[in-house]
Amino acid sequence: MENVVAIQNLNHYYQEGRGRRQVIFNINLTIKEGETLFLTGESGSGKTTLISLIGCLRSVQEGSLKILGQELRGAGQSQLINLRRNLGYVFQHFNLFDFMNICQNVQVSLELQKNFDPDQARLKSEALLKEVGLEHRLNAYPRELSGGQKQRVAIARALVHRPKLILADEPTAALDSKTGREVVELIQGLAKQQGSAVLIVTHNNRILDLADRIVRIKDGQLGVGYVEELSLILPTLTDKKLTEIASKIELRTYEPGLTIIGQGDPAKEFYILIEGTVEVIQENEDSEAVLLERLERGNFFGEIGLLKGEKCIENVRVTSDSEAKVMVIDRETFLKMISESKLTNAVINYQMFQRLSKFKVSNN
């Protein structure tokens, strides 16, 4: 897949002279077509600055930021305007025009495109409003809609021109949990139909499982969202325990085809897969390799040897088509974690017994 966004060594500053203050520090990031990336972080951490840079709303000062292969550093206003035509924006507060009906609101995006055709714009707007479930309200005005309906209009407006990149800044903040989740699922579904990449800025932990990848920005520095990723895999842990364990996580990247765990190796670590796919393989009594399962993002492995106090009884290797990224927790931290959380212990033990049943079957 192609990179829609490619950032290298990006820095950004506010003000000049003695008051100059750095707010973005050496950020490196890629977003691929079809990918949904969540950006998390506290208020004032740099989220808004970063998304405005990616959205061609600020000038790039230092480093490289490419959108659809075009370098933004040194880009003129005409180039930025042309790039914005390939972007879709979804805002927290909807930003609809009260004096227009919802179909007209959606058409605004098409009016900014080259070769604008009013008749075609109307048809496209109606079609996308149907996709978001508002075909019966085409002539309604924003004041007549609920918050969830307004956000659906905003989504239709953002996607009607089939942008290559969708930027959503806290799209669920003004919505209840059910509606917020529906809104994100709607953005994802429509984006995948169009092959678009999606970047969502959010504080909403209840939608994190919808992400393909989660990154966290803190004090202007970007990294993996360890706490968020860990909370998805082990939701039984308290916030305090999540933060404690996250501080001890090591991130590793394994190339395609590499073995992460070898059958017979000492059990030393617990692994959480956050990118890529791995295969769990066991050699039977005839030394034949038997594929037991494939694991993707959101799965863990390595627990069997740690819980049973034995050597690893399986091979785990990365598939040949892409690299894998894993969060690694050392043995001591893992054992402490399950000793202090009975629910977490139960969840991991249940998974272990499920896997052991597969191993037993494979050796019959």
User: Rounded to 5 degrees, what are φ and ψ at 69?
Assistant: 80, -5
Confidence (pLDDT) at 364: 44
Task: Report the 10 Å Cβ neighbour count for 247.
Answer: 10
CA 297 to chain CA centroid, Å, is: 11
Which of 156, 150, 165 minimizes the C-alpha distance to 125? 156
- 3-class secondary structure, 296: coil
Nearest to 154 by CA among 81, 102, 98, 100: 102
- Helix H, strand E, coil C: the string for 144-192 is HCCHHHHHHHHHHHHHCCCCCEEEEECCCCCCCHHHHHHHHHHHHHHHH
The pLDDT value recorded for residue 361 is: 47
pLDDT at 290: 87
Query: pTM to 2 decimals?
Result: 0.85
CATH architecture, domain 239-362: Sandwich (2.60)
In this prediction, residue 272 carries a pLDDT of 97
Residues 178/241/326/331 CA torsion (nearest 10 deg): -150
Helix (H) or strand (E) holding 305: helix 303-308
- β-pair partners for 324: 254
CATH fold of 3-233 reads Rossmann fold (3.40.50)
Q: In the chain, which stretches have pLDDT less than 70?
A: 360-364
- In single-letter form, the type of residue at position 159 comes to L
Relative to beta strand 197-201, strand 36-40 is parallel
CA dihedral sign, ordered 46, 52, 55, 56: negative
Residues forming CATH 3.40.50.300 domain(s) in the chain = 3-233
Nearest to 150 by CA among 97, 204, 84, 188: 97
242: three-class secondary structure by DSSP: helix
pLDDT digits (tens, 9 = 90+) for 21-62: 999 999 999 999 999 999 999 988 999 999 999 999 999 999
For 154-189, how does the pLDDT look when each residue is reduced to its tens digit (9 = 90+)?
A: 999 999 999 999 999 988 887 888 888 988 999 998
Tokens 């075009």 sit at which residue?
70
Hey, how many other C-beta atoms are within 10 angstroms of the C-beta on 344?
A: 19
- Pair 72, 61: CB distance under 8 Å: no
**DSSP-derived secondary structure for 42-85:** -TTSSHHHHHHHHTTSS---EEEEEETTEE-TT--HHHHHHHHT
Q: Which of 342, 348, 329 has its CA nearest to residue 244?
A: 329
- Cβ atoms of residues 12 and 49 within 8 Å: yes
CATH 2.60.120.10 residue window(s) in the chain? 239-362
